[in-house]
């Protein structure tokens, strides 16, 4: 575990993307997904990456997760360069990525058991139990993923990511595949979990949902379109917390942020329409 | 697929309804079972009829069903007698063949599964070993018999060696395929949560490839049972294949056909038995 103490000077640039460029080789040649991305994220901040499909937002998230290597530039976390996945980062994937042959309990336990080598078996069990309870899945602990709903699967994935007690939580369109009601309740659960952990966790979230971004974030990073996507604009969300979906729309300042985001996504960085007929 | 779904819904039924439900489903099960039994009966009746007609037409050169079934009954009613090396009960012969298949198949699987994991899991080994497997796979396992004889000096061991070779290929190929096709979604879990090599093997790779490995093993066992008969015709001495060849030498075709029936039944039981075990360890996605 590479966790260095964070000096106060560094706290505003706890997680830093420096000149990040990521390209892949494809059968049709080199494809540059993101180019020259520079971003600073403070400790405890919740930041959304928003943009159209193919704008490289997931690529950036994977680079922070250490799952994708930058072609140029670097990702710095707490003063240390990231080059591999690590226990300091917990990832929630778009398609849940639960192992179908393991139960709900085992899915969380395997991650905890793998990451927390310094804990005893009893401590690990207790930890898993606690997070199962936090996401309300204690009753379903012995079910296999195929026996539970999409919302429950994503709860398991969130519990798994939280349970390893990472400093940074990375969420890749976590609620994208869920229906509107489940989505709302999970968004609020996520805020609650984050609150329970004393708001010390840094969260980076990929989304294409404007309301979700405003509800959850301190800062919204709007991406331009790919290829060679980069940061178009960073919008601060100074709305007071706690926020909930119902009151959010009536908060002063909400409309303005919403308008701006809509403008950026629909006009400034709109997907070019080839057919006007 | 339909059966699995049925199983799930029936476990979800509230207990008040379960008695009615199980009674109804029992009737359903009985109906479909008796129907399929009827079809089976028709199939075998047609086969017996055809056999009877042909043996009637060709005269004495092919024994008819009645004479054969009489011989078959004699064979099964006293399967374990032992009157020296050239006269043993059909049960003993069958047991000997099964033992050889079991040993050869087990040894083959012990080699084939790790080999398949290596080929499927590491591109370098795939590139190096795939051509070798592709070349050896189409070779009749019986061609290995002389090699077995040369190495082991005994026909019995050589037969086991042939079964060993036979059992390799389907398992290697299916295991390699399973291991090579682990979805990115599952691999990434191991990477993101820092799974050790061992944990990845135990919790991701093996569970995912298990259905493929089992398919390979089942095919291997099937082919092994096919090959043992031919192998024992070559090796002689003992076993159901030897029994067939010995009966032919004694010009006792009733015994040959009886042996064919017994070999078929045994093969079927092996396959079904394996399927029952396989169903227990298979996960449902």
Q: How far apart are CA B274 and CA B282, in angstroms?
A: 12
Q: Which of A165, A188, A212 is the last residue of a domain?
A: A165
| B194/A85 Cβ within 8 A | yes
Instruction: Taking residues A77-95, report their average pLDDT.
Output: 90
pLDDT at A270: 74
Is A180 part of a structural domain of the chain?
no
Closest chain B residue to A114, measured at CA: B195
Domain count, chain A: 2
* Length of chain A, in residues: 277
pLDDT at A2: 46
- Whether residue A93 is found in the same domain as residue A157: yes
Q: Which of A138, A165, A192 is the last residue of a domain?
A: A165
The residue with greater pLDDT, A20 or B18, is A20
Beta-carbon contacts of residue B239 (< 8 Å; ≥ 6 apart): B93, B96, B97, B100, B159, B228, B232
Q: How far apart are CA B71 and CA B259, in angstroms?
A: 10
Nearest neighbour of A115 by CB, restricted to B186, B193, B284: B193
Task: State the DSSP string of chain A.
Answer: ---PPPPGGGGGGSEEEEEEEEEEEETTEEEEEEEEEEEEE-TT-EEEEE-STTSSHHHHHHHHHTSS--SEEEEEETTEE--S--TTEEEE-TT----TTS-HHHHHHHHHHHH-TTS-HHHHHHHHHHHHHHTT-GGGTT--GGGS-HHHHHHHHHHHHHHT--SEEEEESTTTTS-HHHHHHHHHHHHHHHHHTTT--EEEEEES-HHHHHHH-SEEEEE-PSSSB-EEEEEE----SS--HHHHTTSTTHHHHHHHHHHIIIIITPPPPS---
Flag whether pLDDT at B1 surpasses 50. Answer: no
For the domain that residue A81 is a member of, what is the CATH number?
3.40.50.300
pLDDT at A191: 85
Q: Which of A165, A191, A215 is the last residue of a domain?
A: A165
pLDDT tens digits, one per residue of B32-69: 888 899 999 999 999 999 999 999 999 878 899 999 99
- Whether residue A108 is found in the same domain as residue A235: no
pLDDT at A198: 74
pLDDT at B69: 92
pLDDT at A76: 93
pLDDT tens digits, one per residue of A169-206: 999 998 887 888 888 888 888 888 888 777 788 999 99
Using an 8 Å CB-CB cutoff, list chain B residues near A110: 193, 195, 199, 203
- Whether residue A81 is found in the same domain as residue A215: yes
Q: How far apart are CA B246 and CA B256, in angstroms?
A: 9
Using an 8 Å CB-CB cutoff, list chain B residues near A113: 199
Q: How far apart are CA A32 and CA A229, in angstroms?
A: 8
| B283/A93 Cβ within 8 A | no
| B192/A67 Cβ within 8 A | yes
Is A43 part of a structural domain of the chain?
yes
- Whether residue A258 is found in the same domain as residue A121: no
Lowest mean pLDDT among A261-275, B136-150, B238-252: A261-275
- Whether residue A39 is found in the same domain as residue A63: yes
Range of the domain at A144: 89-165
Is A188 part of a structural domain of the chain?
no
pLDDT tens digits, one per residue of A212-222: 999 999 999 99
Domains annotated on chain B, with CATH: 2-62 (no CATH), 76-281 (1.10.3720.10)
Confidence of residue A268 (pLDDT cuts 50, 70, 90): confident
Is A183 part of a structural domain of the chain?
no
- Mean pLDDT over the full length of chain A: 87
Interface with chain A: mutation pick from B187, B193, B206, highest number of A CBs within 10 Å: B193
Confidence of residue A246 (pLDDT cuts 50, 70, 90): confident
pLDDT at A274: 45
pLDDT tens digits, one per residue of A109-123: 999 999 998 899 999
Is A9 part of a structural domain of the chain?
no
- Whether residue A21 is found in the same domain as residue A150: no
Question: What are the residues facing A221 on neighbouring strands?
Answer: A49, A234
- Whether residue A262 is found in the same domain as residue A232: yes
- Whether residue A232 is found in the same domain as residue A95: no
* Cβ–Cβ < 8 Å for A108, A97: no
Q: In this complex, is the C-beta atom of B189 within 8 Å of any C-beta atom belonging to chain A? A: yes
pLDDT at B21: 65
Is A182 part of a structural domain of the chain?
no
Confidence of residue B20 (pLDDT cuts 50, 70, 90): low
Nearest neighbour of B196 by CB, restricted to A114, A147, A164: A114
Is A38 part of a structural domain of the chain?
yes
pLDDT at A200: 83
- Whether residue A81 is found in the same domain as residue A94: no
Instruction: Taking residues A135-163, report their average pLDDT.
Output: 91
Backbone angles phi and psi of A94, in degrees to 5: -60, -45
Confidence of residue B30 (pLDDT cuts 50, 70, 90): confident
- Whether residue A73 is found in the same domain as residue A210: yes
Using an 8 Å CB-CB cutoff, list chain A residues near B204: 99
- Whether residue A208 is found in the same domain as residue A79: yes
Beta-carbon contacts of residue B114 (< 8 Å; ≥ 6 apart): none
- Mean pLDDT over the full length of chain B: 89
Is A7 part of a structural domain of the chain?
no
Beta carbon pairs, A and B, within 8 Å: 56
* Cβ–Cβ < 8 Å for A100, A156: no
Nearest neighbour of B193 by CB, restricted to A111, A144, A147: A111
Nearest neighbour of B207 by CB, restricted to A65, A97, A101: A101
- Whether residue A38 is found in the same domain as residue A71: yes
């Amino acid at each position: 575990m590479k966790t260095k103490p964070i000096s106060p000077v560094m706290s505003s640039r706890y997680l830093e993307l420096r000149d990040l460029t990521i390209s892949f080789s494809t059968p049709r040649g080199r494809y540059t997904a993101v180019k020259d991305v520079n971003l600073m994220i403070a400790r405890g901040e919740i930041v959304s990456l928003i943009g159209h499909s193919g704008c490289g937002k997931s690529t950036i998230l994977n680079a922070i997760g250490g799952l994708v290597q930058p072609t140029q530039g670097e990702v710095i976390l707490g003063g240390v360069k990231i080059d591999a996945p690590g226990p300091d980062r917990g990832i929630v994937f778009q398609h849940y990525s639960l192992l179908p042959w393991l139960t709900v309990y085992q899915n969380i336990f395997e991650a905890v058991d793998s990451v927390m080598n310094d804990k005893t078996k009893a401590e690990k069990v207790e930890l898993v139990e606690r997070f199962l309870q936090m996401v309300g899945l204690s009753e379903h602990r012995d079910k296999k993923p195929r026996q539970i709903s999409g919302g429950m699967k994503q709860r398991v994935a969130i519990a798994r990511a939280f349970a390893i007690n990472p400093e940074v939580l990375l969420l890749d369109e976590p609620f994208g595949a869920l229906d509107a009601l489940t989505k709302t309740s999970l968004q609020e659960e996520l805020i609650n979990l984050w609150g329970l952990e004393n708001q010390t966790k840094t969260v980076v979230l990929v989304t294409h949902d404007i309301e979700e971004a405003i509800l959850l974030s301190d800062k919204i990073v709007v991406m331009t379109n790919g290829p060679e996507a980069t940061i178009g604009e960073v919008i601060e969300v100074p709305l007071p917390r706690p926020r909930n979906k119902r009151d959010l729309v009536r908060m002063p300042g909400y409309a303005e942020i919403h308008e701006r985001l809509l403008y950026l996504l629909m006009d400034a960085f709109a997907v070019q329409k080839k057919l006007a007929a | 697929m339909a059966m699995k779904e049925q199983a799930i819904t029936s476990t979800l039924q509230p207990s008040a309804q379960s008695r009615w439900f199980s009674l109804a489903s029992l009737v359903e099960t009985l109906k479909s079972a008796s129907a399929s039994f009827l079809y089976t009966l028709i199939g075998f009746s047609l086969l017996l009829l055809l056999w009877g007609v042909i043996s009637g037409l060709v005269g004495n050169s092919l024994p008819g069903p009645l004479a054969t079934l009489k011989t078959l009954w004699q064979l099964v009613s006293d399967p374990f007698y032992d009157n020296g090396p050239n006269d043993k009960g059909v049960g003993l012969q069958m047991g000997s063949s099964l033992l050889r298949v079991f040993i050869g198949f087990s040894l083959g699987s012990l080699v084939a599964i790790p080999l398949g994991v290596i080929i499927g899991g590491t591109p370098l080994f795939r590139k190096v070993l795939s051509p070798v497997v592709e070349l050896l796979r189409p070779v009749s396992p019986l061609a290995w018999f002389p090699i077995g004889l040369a190495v082991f000096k005994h026909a019995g061991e050589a037969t086991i060696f042939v079964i060993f070779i036979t059992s390799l290929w389907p398992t290697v190929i299916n295991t390699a395929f399973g291991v090579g096709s682990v979805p990115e979604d599952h691999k990434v879990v191991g990477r993101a949560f820092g799974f050790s090599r061992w944990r990845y093997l135990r919790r991701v790779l093996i569970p995912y490839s298990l259905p493929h490995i089992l398919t390979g093993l089942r095919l291997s066992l099937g082919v092994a049972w096919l090959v043992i008969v031919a192998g024992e015709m070559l090796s002689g001495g003992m076993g159901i294949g030897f029994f067939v060849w010995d009966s032919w030498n004694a010009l006792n075709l009733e015994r040959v056909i009886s042996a064919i029936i017994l070999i078929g039944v045994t093969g079927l039981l092996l396959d079904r038995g394996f399927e029952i075990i396989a169903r227990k360890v298979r996960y449902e996605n």
